[in-house]
Amino acid sequence: MKTMHFIFLFGWMATVFAQEIALAPDQMKADLAVVRDILTNGHPGLYDYTSKTQLDSLYRSIVTEISTPQSPAAFFRLLSGLTDQIHDGHLLLFPPPTLQKVERFFPLLLKYIQGDWYTDTDDFDLPAGTQILSINDIPLDEILERLWKYVPADGFNTTQKYRKIEMYFSLYLNYAFGAALDYSVTYLDQNGQTQRRTVQSEPFESLNTRNTRRRSYFARYHGFEDGRNFSARYIGNKSPFVYFIDSLKTAVLTVHSFGIDPKQFKSDLIDLFEEIEDAEADYLVIDIRRNDGGFRPDAIHLFTFLTNKPFRQIESSQVVSLTIPQQEYVFKTYLDPQQFLYDKFKDYPRGDRWVLATDGAEEIMVPDDRGFKGKVYVLVGGLTFSAAATFALNAKNDPDITLVGEECGGGYYFHNGEFPVYYRLPHSEIVLVQFMEKVLHVVSDKTVPPGSGVPPDYTVGLTADDLFTGKDAQLDYILNQLIPLSSTH
């Protein structure tokens, strides 16, 4: 289901804060009461990371803040601080429709690397890899702190927040500070001297076009001088695809999305693994660094081509309600609540919730005879989320598969998902998306700290020099470190 609500996010990519009609305190209090009831009576892990006492205190502080009229934008900022404290990557908040269509955005495309921010394209006479120090005299550290609450994440995971903020930096900057016609930027030049320049804001369409030339897409590493052609072929391709590095007898299977119809996805996999077998590859790299999830069967189907034994994903699933709270404000659900909520859980009460300890999908979690028989590596990162993180956890549980990259955005021990409900608040018209089912994962390594994402076996990050040269350090580590090491044993 992840793909669906990210389509919804892109619908908001063209909004900025403008002149808005203020909300009265009673209107905001009414909307806050709706949010509180939705969370209290429907969220399956409301107090997993933040206690009831802490959340009650946060509600009281918001009530104090809204004692005078506020714009919908200001109210949205307050609610974002609330939902962020629940630490649920599937709990989404979208701005109100009173925000007008965008005219201009902050124009620089940035990359976060080891605590610093760098330009990710060669634009505005600032080469890729230029370190940015401040925007409008606000240090980037302070800006990051202000943007943090707009990115939901599972538990205490930070990699997803960093990756999402760098991806949607201009959007979140508007959320926090509003739009501007131009921006004063301080940066370090190639001699390490602090410089300042003014850059004009740009329409979203211009940012979107230049986004295809991000240096962190590593077009040069793959032999492409034109980043736009590389982006269209590799980055923007949501269907799974494979390419080969013949000198290493290695296939690289890139899967940017599990949001493809499961029957079509399974058919694609059959063709791709037949191609891999024909190429007589000894090593297989699965790249899911930009996969934010989708349909669970897609993730299961892919793993059946990698394993030689039956596997499991779920210890149990649970809900705290058999009905959708505050139904009068629901405007969209993708699943029938009678079938996928009430009928699914009603016979399994346990304390203050309903717990299902079986997984109907286990019947398809068996090896595919057409699967790969060689050594498998999986590339993961902060954008690896939801069904993709569950796939990564299957790989993590398998001692024959090696994970490389950075911590996944999706939770290690559990995640909330499966049953999304879309709400529109009655006065501010802010949209809240809540997933009502908590899924506890099958894990082999129980020493991983609570609140973590799925950790890689080898943590490999990007350096500023990697960005400047266009080197895909994570893939390169597999190709030039792990595979040669494996071939000697």
Q: Both 389 and 261 in a single domain?
A: yes
pLDDT interval class at 19 (50, 70, 90): low
Is residue 420 in a domain?
no
> Each residue of 247-276: pLDDT tens digit?
999 999 999 999 999 999 999 999 999 999
Is residue 262 in a domain?
yes
Q: Both 224 and 164 in a single domain?
A: no
Q: Phi first, then psi: give them for residue 108, nearest 5 degrees.
A: -80, 135
Q: Both 12 and 60 in a single domain?
A: yes
> Each residue of 340-385: pLDDT tens digit?
999 999 999 999 999 999 999 999 999 999 999 999 999 999 999 9
The mean pLDDT value for 207-212 works out to 92
pLDDT interval class at 161 (50, 70, 90): very high
Tell me the C-alpha to C-alpha distance, in Å, between residue 316 and each of 74, 390, 427, 440. Answer: 39, 14, 37, 5
Q: What is the pLDDT of residue 21?
A: 86
pTM of the model as a whole: 0.93
**CA 297/CA 390 separation, integer angstroms:** 11
Q: What is the pLDDT of residue 289?
A: 98
Q: Over pLDDT 90: what percentage of the chain?
A: 87
Among the residue ranges 9-13, 335-339, 420-424, the one predicted with the least confidence is: 9-13
* pLDDT over 60 at 110, yes or no: yes
Is residue 335 in a domain?
no
Q: Both 226 and 201 in a single domain?
A: no
DSSP one-letter string for 71-113: -HHHHHHHHHHHHHTT--TT-EEE--TTSEEP--B----EEEE
In terms of DSSP bridges, do strands 182-188 and 194-200 run parallel, antiparallel, or are they unpaired? antiparallel
Is residue 482 in a domain?
yes
Q: Report the sign of the C-alpha dihedral through residues 238, 242, 243, 245, in that order.
A: positive
The mean pLDDT value for 107-123 works out to 96
Please tell me the total count of domains within the chain: 3
Q: Residue 249 belongs to a domain with what CATH number? A: 3.90.226.10
Q: Both 30 and 154 in a single domain?
A: no
Q: Both 97 and 115 in a single domain?
A: no
> Each residue of 230-241: pLDDT tens digit?
888 889 899 999
Tell me the C-alpha to C-alpha distance, in Å, between residue 410 and each of 382, 439, 440. Answer: 8, 12, 12
pLDDT interval class at 489 (50, 70, 90): low
In terms of DSSP bridges, do strands 458-459 and 401-405 run parallel, antiparallel, or are they unpaired? parallel
Q: Both 264 and 409 in a single domain?
A: yes
**Mean per-residue pLDDT of the chain:** 93
Q: What is the pLDDT of residue 487?
A: 66
Considering only CA atoms, which of 305, 316, 290, 304 is closest in space to residue 439?
316
> Each residue of 199-208: pLDDT tens digit?
999 998 899 9
Q: What is the pLDDT of residue 4?
A: 43
Is residue 344 in a domain?
no
Q: Over pLDDT 70: what percentage of the chain?
A: 94
Q: What is the pLDDT of residue 198?
A: 97
* Domain interval for residue 68: 2-101
The mean pLDDT value for 152-159 works out to 97
Q: Both 197 and 235 in a single domain?
A: no
